[in-house]
Structure 1
Amino acid sequence: MKVFDYAEVQARISPARALSLLTSALKSGFEPADDPARSITPVPAGQILSMPAAIPGWAGAKIIGLAPGNTDLPRIDGTYVLFDGPTLQLKAVIDGVALTNIRTPAVSALAATKLLAPGVVDKMVVFGTGPQGVGHARALADLRSVRDCVLVGRDTEKAEAAVAELASMGITARVGSAPDAKDADVIVCATSAGSPLFEAADVRDDVCVLAIGSHETDRREVPSALMSRALVVVEDVSTALREAGDVVMAIEDGSIAESDLHTLKGLVLEEVEVDYTKPRVFKGTGMSWEDLAVAVGMME
């Protein structure tokens, strides 16, 4: 059995490698709709999440603890256990936070490979200055040449720290504010916000939005008015209806219908026609198969 810590996961799985692993899983015949739903168990300090999955040749599960009250300690901690698929013999224990911080931006980047028009991204605005905000900026900079990368957060010091972290990776970024979204080509929503981060009328008609901030049905980062005129892509329809507030609330207020939703697998297999002149929205909540697909890369 192998054990991989945070640094090893970060060093061995680049954004491009994670994207390739996810693509391979989707093209292997695996159906995301068959992925087990995550189990959320309330405990006194917060929640424990269990996310098991199986793809051809492999099985595994991520166990994550969420403690909202933590101040001096991380709010999220956890581990991933990887099994051989045919025998269910334990093969590896992997840092769960590192895996999450890599696979979530990689899923968004996978959607972005199809949702972004060819060429340079003139301006990308990232709402959120935590690991997911930084991870998305890194993943998209790896995918496209980004002329202007702007990070927006509630805490200026944290935003400046995130810009410095990106600089250490060779990525130039700057601290901005919400109005920067008005002329953005790409908007990344990676926050804990419960209400929309911007008004639909304040962003471009051809904007691409990648929203991954929550997996709760009563929270959203994208306004319904934008969803109503956008191509909306989700990881899986049933999962989105169960966990994606951006989707659930837009359906409830009549802005979109379930039939308007397209899947990430359909996008990757080029079964979805993309109109780059209208808004494109990818709403991700995170699925168990994604962790497993990336975890397998640690064994290669």
Structure 2
Amino acid sequence: MFIVSEDTCKKLVGRADAFKAVEAVFAAMAKGDAYNFPVIREAIGHADALYGFKSGFDRSGLVLGLKSGGYWPGNAAKGLTNHQSTVFLFDADTGQLKALVGGNYLTAVRTAAASAVSIAHLARRDAKVLGMVGAGHQAAFQLRAAAEQRSFEKVVAWNFHPEMLPGLAGVAEEIGLPFEAVERERLGAEADVIVSITSAHEPLMMREWVKPGTHIACMGTDTKGKQELDPALVAAATLFTDEIAQSVTIGELQHAIAACLVREEAITPIGAVINGTHPGRTSDDEITLFDGTGVGLQDLAVASAAVELAQQSGEATEIAI
């Protein structure tokens, strides 16, 4: 069995590696070659923690495993990351444990890769302004990954807590993009691509604020009750997601579905666009929306890439069990 640590994952797994792995597994899902198992997510009654499992099997890549972990809200005060996870990979031929992989960094980079894949396949080619809704830990990963998909000339951003925006401004400066903190109405009026990455439970972006032709990657809604967008905005968009079953139950589309503004049949897996069986964007005026709920197969894909890279570089620790 191999062990690949958090530090090794950070050192070896770049944005391009994560993009390639996530794009491939989305394509495999759309073909029916990979599938996620039911998600388990529970409040454990201790430390206000949420704990659970995401798992699945990619038959095309023979990647089998699970991510175990959750959210401990008190960790920040202890100098730890609130989100904690570990990925377990198993040999698909024998069921033996194949690898233990640190999952914290990989969760962040795979989430950013998912929105980047959506931008690559759905945003207008002439997109110039990137809008960021949210400025937490994950937002920096999102900004770096999104910026590589189009020739953006500017970043506009909004956050519940404005004092956090200078950190995101520093990331924009690092990659050479002008940055401006704006109100949400202006963000919607200017942005050609919007990435929302918050833990909100109410609409942050309204239909009337978003201009025609915008692509929205909604990445924060992954639990029943969470919400980032006005359901009317969702209903006005052409809809794509990582997995339809999650999108309508715990993703951003749960609210539009519940309000009978959207039918499940109107939602397309992003893998169908990757595979060429769906055209994706069909006009420059079309609003496209990607509901990134986060699936276990994303974690397994990037973890498998991490193991392969660590083995190639000699940085995977092998132990007998």
In 1, Cα distance between equivalents of 2:27 and 2:293? 21
Measure how far apart 1:94 and its partner are. Answer: 1.7
Return closer, same or farther for 1:27/1:285 CA change in 2, 3 Å cut-off.
Answer: closer
2:134 aligned partner, one-letter code: G
User: Matches of residues 231-270 of structure 1 in structure 2 within 5 Å?
Assistant: 231-244=238-251, 246-270=252-276
In 1, Cα distance between equivalents of 2:171 and 2:21? 25
Q: Which has the higher contact order (CA 8 A, sep 6+)?
A: 2
Per-residue deviation, residues 196-234 of structure 1 (Å, max 9, x unmatched)? 112211110111100010212322111111112210111
In 2, Cα distance between equivalents of 1:105 and 1:171? 19
5+ long unaligned stretches in structure 2: 310-321
Partner SS, residue 59 of structure 1: strand
Return closer, same or farther for 1:165/1:90 CA change in 2, 3 Å cut-off.
Answer: farther
* Identity %, equivalent residues: 23
In structure 2, the residue matched to 1:192 is: 199
Return closer, same or farther for 1:32/1:123 CA change in 2, 3 Å cut-off.
Answer: farther
Question: Are 1:208 and 2:215 matched, yes or no?
Answer: yes
- What is the aligned counterpart of 1:64 among 64, 69, 81? 69
In 1, Cα distance between equivalents of 2:92 and 2:253? 33
Measure how far apart 1:71 and its partner are. Answer: 4.2
User: Matches of residues 1-300 of structure 1 in structure 2 within 5 Å?
Assistant: 1-28=1-28, 31=32, 34-43=35-44, 44-45=46-47, 46-56=49-59, 57-73=62-78, 74-119=81-126, 121-168=127-174, 170-177=175-182, 178=184, 179-244=186-251, 246-273=252-279, 274-275=281-282, 276-298=284-306, 299-300=308-309
TM value normalised by structure 1: 0.91
Measure how far apart 1:26 and its partner are. Answer: 4.0
| Equivalent residues, number | 297
In 2, Cα distance between equivalents of 1:166 and 1:183? 17
In 1, Cα distance between equivalents of 2:163 and 2:178? 14
TM value normalised by structure 2: 0.85
2:18 aligned partner, one-letter code: A
CA contact (8 A) 1:141 1:171 kept: no
Partner SS, residue 55 of structure 2: strand
Return closer, same or farther for 1:175/1:96 CA change in 2, 3 Å cut-off.
Answer: farther
Measure how far apart 1:142 and its partner are. Answer: 1.7
In 2, Cα distance between equivalents of 1:162 and 1:64? 27
5+ long unaligned stretches in structure 1: none
CA contact (8 A) 1:61 1:80 kept: yes
In 2, Cα distance between equivalents of 1:202 and 1:39? 36
Per-residue deviation, residues 9-51 of structure 1 (Å, max 9, x unmatched)? 2332222221212233344576388311211121122211211
RMSD between aligned residues = 2.0
Measure how far apart 1:64 and its partner are. Answer: 1.4
